[in-house]
Amino acid sequence: MLRKLLVPLDGSALSERALPYAAELARAAAASLTLVRTADVHPRLHLGLAHLLPEDPLSYLNMHADPLRTCGVVVDAAVAPGEPPRALMSEIERRQPDLVVMSTHARSGFDRLVHGSVTDTVVSHVGCPVMLVPAQAGSGASAAPRLAAKRVVVPLDGSRFSEAALPVAVDLARALGSEVLLVQAIIPLYPLPTDLELLTPSILDQEQSLADTEDAVADYLDGLAYRLSVSERGLRVTALAGTGQLTEVIRELSNTAQGHVNSSIGLVVMATHGRIGLARAIVGGEADAVVRADDLPVVLVHPHGAEPAPEEASGVSAQGEHRHA
């Protein structure tokens, strides 16, 4: 259950892009919201960050908190003394939020240096889920809400590790009145020719193997969707197996659903076991790619006491004819 949300801010417009998403979640889930600003930076970065530092960190936080309070959101403003990311990590540890909502850094340059190291540290070390709002998504606290009633997508790979994202996805979907969509991407090892004259016996065998894998994955997803819909009464759960990279499957879903609010994607929830900056993530090592590919918020969940086990995956493993994300 989402009861406490935390948003790190650093005085920049980039960090503030997380605010509308956190505010919408806080209102939908009747959760409290804490805005955190560290009061210092590393000495080597003082000069470069001078234009980002408000003279009074608490006044800066309250400038963003007050409009939310007038809308009925319970908001706390906290100044964490020390240099980021250590001060921020200490504040997160002390407050134990159910979800941290923060923006990702830009793809290159100074923003990547400053925001990237903090984001990677938070994703790598906090125990709670982290929602990452892409740098290209919206701007400022006044941006229109984008999550309610849209689908919550959960990428899976057939393992219990990837399924650890499901409870978080369920909580978010219930709060937002959304549908949960279970997705698995199946990646052929070799592209299949479109010209029928080029279909050799070996290629036909590969095509049949791919079809068998798709059937196995569809059975796995449909079974999981049914069990989840039964255990979570009132929650709509659907499933989809797609061929291609996970980012391609999600992008195709987004394109297909354009103009249909109830079918469009609000956010992606997936399991991870490492630093997004080094692409040390599951599912299929594609969490980093998903975070950077589109303007969708991505919630990364650290499974507790679970390790990825490729042999648990449904269908054909990476050592077989096909692998799937």
> What pLDDT digit, counting tens, does each position of 106-134 carry?
444 334 434 557 888 888 888 899 999 98
Amino acid at 32: S
> What pLDDT does residue 112 have?
43
> What pLDDT does residue 318 have?
32
For the entire predicted model, the pTM comes to 0.80
* Model pLDDT for residues 275-311, shown as the tens digit of each residue: 444 333 334 356 667 776 667 899 999 887 555 544 4
Calpha distance 157→283 (Å, rounded): 6
Calpha distance 120→13 (Å, rounded): 19
> What pLDDT does residue 53 have?
52
Which residue segments constitute the domains of the chain, with CATH numbers given? 4-133 (3.40.50.620), 151-324 (3.40.50.620)
Of residues 252 and 94, more confidence is placed in 94
* Model pLDDT for residues 185-244, shown as the tens digit of each residue: 987 755 554 554 444 555 445 555 667 778 889 999 999 999 999 999 989 999 999 888
The residue-averaged pLDDT of 49-53 equals: 50
Nearest to 161 by CA among 318, 282, 21, 32: 282
Please check whether residue 100 is in contact with residue 300, taking contact to mean a CB–CB distance below 8 angstroms.
no
> What pLDDT does residue 247 have?
87
Angle at Cα 187 formed by Cα 225 and Cα 214, nearest 5°? 45
Calpha distance 78→186 (Å, rounded): 45
Question: DSSP per residue over 69-123, as a string?
Answer: HHTT--EEEEEE-SSTTHHHHHHHHHH--SEEEEEPPPSSSHHHHHHHHHHHHHH
Nearest to 18 by CA among 135, 148, 133: 133
* Model pLDDT for residues 6-39, shown as the tens digit of each residue: 999 988 888 899 999 999 999 999 999 999 998 8
Would you give the DSSP letter of residue 199? -
Report the range of poorest mean pLDDT among 16-20, 75-79, 257-261: 257-261
Which tokens hold the place of 35? 């805005």
Cα–Cα distance list, 147 to 23, 53, 104, 141, 291 (Å): 11, 30, 18, 14, 16
Q: How far apart are the first and last CA of the chain?
A: 28
**Burial of 97 per CB tally in 10 Å (0-12, 13-18, 19+):** buried
Q: Phi/psi of residue 75, each to 5°?
A: -125, 135
